[in-house]
C-alpha cells in the first residue's frame, strides 16, 4: 500500500527533482477526493543542506524517517556520479527494499540506489547524459538509455528531470489506479502518460570519419539523402571495390553505409519536423524515405515515437495538426 512517502536528500540536491516528488506526493488534494500521503523530506547529511541552485534548506527529519516509509524517493544532485554516499543511507535503502518498500530515483539519484547494490542484475533508467558513466561505474546493472523510466519492482528509476513526474505517476497508477493518477496529472497540468522515451531528446551526432578515405563520399551522401544509392555506387565514387569500401567505411565511421545514411535521414526528418510546416509526406520525400509510412516505421525504430508525436512535443499541437 502506498501511503507513507519520504524523499531523502543529500548536499547539492537539485531543487526541481526534489520538487517533483514533493508535488506528486506532498500536496494535499483531498478537495478533489484524492489520497493524502504521509509525506516528509529527510536529510542524510544533517539538518542544513546546500542545493545545487545556490540556496540552503533546513530539513526537519533525519535518516530515521526512512524506516517507516512505503516509498523512498531519491532526487538528483550535483556530483552524484562521482561522490561517495553515507553508509547509513545505503544501509537504510537496503533495509527498506528487504521489508518490501519501494525505492524511486529521479535522474542522477540512481547513483545512490546503485551504490546500495539495489540495481545489481536489474535494468534502470538515467538521464542520457549519465548513461555511459553509470554503466561503467556499475557493470552489474543494465542501463536503458532511451526510456523515461524503468520499473524493476521494488526499484523504479527515471531519466532526467521531468521524467521523474512520469515515474511518480506510473507508480500512483500502478498502486491506486489510472483514475487517481489522471486526476493528479490534471491538477499538475501534465500528461498522465507521455508517448515515446528520452530518445527523442537525445542529440546523437553521426560518427564522422576518423580518416580521409571516405570523407568526400560522406559529404556527397549528406547532399543526396533523397536518392537511393547502393554500396556499389558509393564504392565507385571512392574508386574502390565494394568490399574494400565497406570495410574502410566501417573502420572510419564505426558503422555501415546503410546505417549511416539511415541515421542521417532520421536526423534530417527531425530537423524538418521541428523547424518547418511541411507535411509528413513531404518530409518523407526530402529525407529519402519515399512515403510517410516508411518514415514512420524508421522514425519509431530510431526515436521511439511517431513523427507527428515528435512534432507536437517540439512545436506544439497546432503544428502537428
105 pLDDT higher than 60:
yes
> Does residue 300 register a pLDDT over 50?
yes
pLDDT-based confidence at residue 209 (cuts at 50, 70, 90): very low
Query: Regarding predicted confidence, which is higher, 191 or 119?
Result: 119
Question: How high is the pLDDT of residue 206?
Answer: 47
The region of weakest confidence among 86-100, 193-207, 234-248, 265-279 is 193-207
Residue 297 predicted with pLDDT over 60: yes
pLDDT at residue 285 above 90? yes
DSSP string, 76-112: -BTTTTT----HHHHHHHHHHHHTT-EEEEEGGGHHH
Q: Which helix (H) or strand (E) holds 8?
A: strand 4-9
What is the set of domains in the chain, with CATH numbers? 4-201 (3.40.50.880), 215-320 (1.10.10.60)
The pTM assigned to this predicted structure is: 0.67
CA distance 319 to 29: 34
Q: What is the mean pLDDT of residues 250-279?
A: 88
Q: Averaged over 300-320, what is the pLDDT?
A: 79
Strands 48-50 and 38-43: unpaired
Work out the percent of the chain whose per-residue pLDDT is above 70: 92
At residue 105, φ and ψ (nearest 5 deg) are -110, 150
pLDDT at 207: 47
Alpha-carbon distances of 151 from 66, 125, 139, 166, 174, rounded to whole Å? 21, 9, 19, 11, 10
Amino acid at each position: 500500500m502506498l501511503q507513507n512517502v519520504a524523499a531523502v536528500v543529500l548536499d547539492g540536491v537539485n531543487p526541481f527533482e526534489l520538487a517533483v516528488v514533493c508535488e506528486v506526493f506532498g500536496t494535499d488534494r483531498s478537495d478533489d477526493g484524492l489520497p493524502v500521503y504521509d509525506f516528509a523530506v529527510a536529510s542524510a547529511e544533517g539538518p542544513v543542506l546546500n542545493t545545487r541552485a545556490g540556496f540552503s534548506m533546513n530539513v526537519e527529519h533525519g535518516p530515521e524517517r526512512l524506516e517507516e516509509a512505503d516509498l523512498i524517493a531519491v532526487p538528483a544532485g550535483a556530483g552524484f556520479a562521482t561522490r561517495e554516499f553515507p553508509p547509513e543511507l545505503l544501509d537504510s535503502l537496503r533495509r527498506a527494499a528487504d521489508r518490501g518498500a519501494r525505492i524511486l530515483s529521479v535522474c542522477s539519484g540512481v547513483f545512490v540506489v546503485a551504490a546500495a547494490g539495489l540495481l545489481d542484475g536489474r535494468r534502470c533508467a538515467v538521464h542520457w547524459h549519465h548513461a555511459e558513466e553509470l554503466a561503467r561505474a556499475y557493470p552489474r546493472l543494465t542501463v536503458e538509455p532511451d526510456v523515461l523510466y524503468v520499473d524493476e519492482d521494488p526499484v523504479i528509476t527515471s531519466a532526467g528531470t521531468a521524467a521523474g513526474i512520469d515515474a511518480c505517476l506510473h507508480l500512483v497508477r500502478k498502486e491506486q489506479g489510472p483514475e487517481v493518477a489522471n486526476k493528479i496529472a490534471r491538477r499538475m497540468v501534465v500528461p498522465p502518460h507521455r508517448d515515446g522515451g528520452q530518445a527523442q531528446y537525445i542529440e546523437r551526432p553521426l560518427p564522422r570519419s576518423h580518416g580521409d578515405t571516405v570523407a568526400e563520399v560522406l559529404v556527397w551522401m549528406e547532399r543526396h539523402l533523397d536518392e537511393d544509392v547502393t554500396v556499389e555506387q558509393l564504392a565507385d565514387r571512392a574508386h574502390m571495390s565494394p568490399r574494400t569500401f565497406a570495410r574502410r567505411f566501417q573502420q572510419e565511421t564505426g558503422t555501415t553505409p546503410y546505417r549511416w545514411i539511415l541515421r542521417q535521414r532520421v536526423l534530417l526528418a527531425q530537423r524538418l519536423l521541428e523547424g518547418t510546416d511541411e507535411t509528413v509526406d513531404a518530409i518523407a520525400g526530402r529525407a529519402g524515405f519515399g512515403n510517410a509510412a516508411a518514415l514512420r516505421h524508421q522514425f519509431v525504430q530510431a526515436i521511439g515515437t511517431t513523427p507527428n508525436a515528435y512534432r507536437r512535443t517540439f512545436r506544439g499541437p497546432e503544428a502537428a495538426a
